[in-house]
Structure 1
Amino acid sequence: MNFYEILECKENATLEELKHKYKQLILQHHPDKMNDLSDSLPSSSSNVNDDTCLFQRINTAWNTLKDPAKRKLYDAELCQNRFQLHNNIFDRLQLKDLDIESCIDDDGIERTIRSYRCRCGGQYICDDETEVCTNNESEELLIECTECSLVIVLGR
């Protein structure tokens, strides 16, 4: 279970949304509250232990996601882990293998777009605004197809 799932939020949740869910969950699973309930309920010590563990995970998740630098690093690790589980690698390429195209965006700024055609007819697109996951050890970029679940591994 990742930190977003623990806080019952989407990965693109704002800091305010995360904070709201954190406060809600922390009140619901606080150990003191659980201890009060366990006094009135017989044989509920395993539930209290589960809630204490969940309380700790909620705090860990919040402490990571509330800090912009920690959250950015966590998101990158989360993304990289997803791609490591990904067995749908279409190809391994170098930057020079991609087609280069210049275009003017809506703001009148010239941008360079690199692309590569996928077997499904979609494209792998890498531009200035592409958010890709990097693997620092191997200096590779993983880029998803615009139409299917395949990825390319782009060496720098």
Structure 2
Amino acid sequence: MCEAAEKDLYAVLGASPSDSLKELRHRYQQLALQYHPDRLGDASSSEADSAVKKFLEVDAAWRILSDQNSRRQYDLQRRAQELKQDWPVDSTVYLEDMTWDQGQCVYTYSCRCGGRFDVSVEEVEEETRSRRQDGEEEEEHRGVVVCCDTCSLSVYVTWSLHSKTLFFK
């Protein structure tokens, strides 16, 4: 899975992360038929090698994305990589571990510089709502990147959809 982790498995199948399993299966079947070694016929040696390599790549992507658990794990790894690339995240903080500030109506977490990270209930609700609209309801956790109000550090604040205390502090 190391080599597969370096490639975007959705791109290998010509699909997107929001595609359903049925759509992924359809793309896989099209590509498998196109590049299957039995369908090469009179192809030259280099064309045959290229097609076999592509077929194996498509098959490896399908094996990971067709299983709900391995797809979820891949999506989490992919999301973590995106967060690292877009903004340097210092650490992960769970919303349940943050302090509820009743006066400001925000969850807070102290930064090592003395500043703080703030997440409003509206931000949490909006992120949860937007993920559901994007078809990511299968995930158990949500999250946002939050910057310190004093320094340049940022944290990834995450929460469970099954948390009973999420909005009732």
Same fold (TM over 0.5): yes
Select which of 116, 123, 126 maps to 1:125.
Answer: 123
| Deviation, structure 1 residue 125 | 2.6
Which AA in structure 1 matches 2:11? E
* Offset of residue 143 of structure 1: 1.4
TM-score where L is the length of structure 2: 0.56
Aligned to 1:104: none
Instruction: List alignment gaps of at least 5 residues for structure 1.
Output: 39-43, 102-111, 118-122, 132-140, 146-150
Determine the structure 1 residue equivalent to 2:75.
75
Report how many aligned residue pairs link the two structures: 123
Contact 1:83–1:142, Cα closer than 8 Å, also in 2? no
Instruction: Check if 1:153 corresponds to 2:152.
Output: no
Structure with a larger share of its residues in strand: 1
- The answer to which of 89-98 and 77-86 deviates more is 89-98
Q: TM-score, normalised by structure 1?
A: 0.60
The CA distance in 2 between the partners of 1:98 and 1:45, in whole Å, is: 66
RMSD over aligned Cα atoms: 4.0
| Distance of aligned partners of 1:21 and 1:97 in 2 relative to their CA distance in 1, 3 Å threshold | same
Tell me the CA shift for residue 154 of structure 1. Answer: 3.7
Q: Is the 8 A contact 1:124 1:143 kept in 2?
A: no
Partner of residue 20 from structure 1, selected from 22, 26, 33: 26
Counterpart-to-counterpart distance in 1, 2:35 and 2:80: 31
Q: Which runs of 5+ in 2 are unaligned?
A: 1-6, 109-117, 132-141, 147-153, 160-169
Shift of 1:28: 0.4
Match of 2:48 in 1: 48
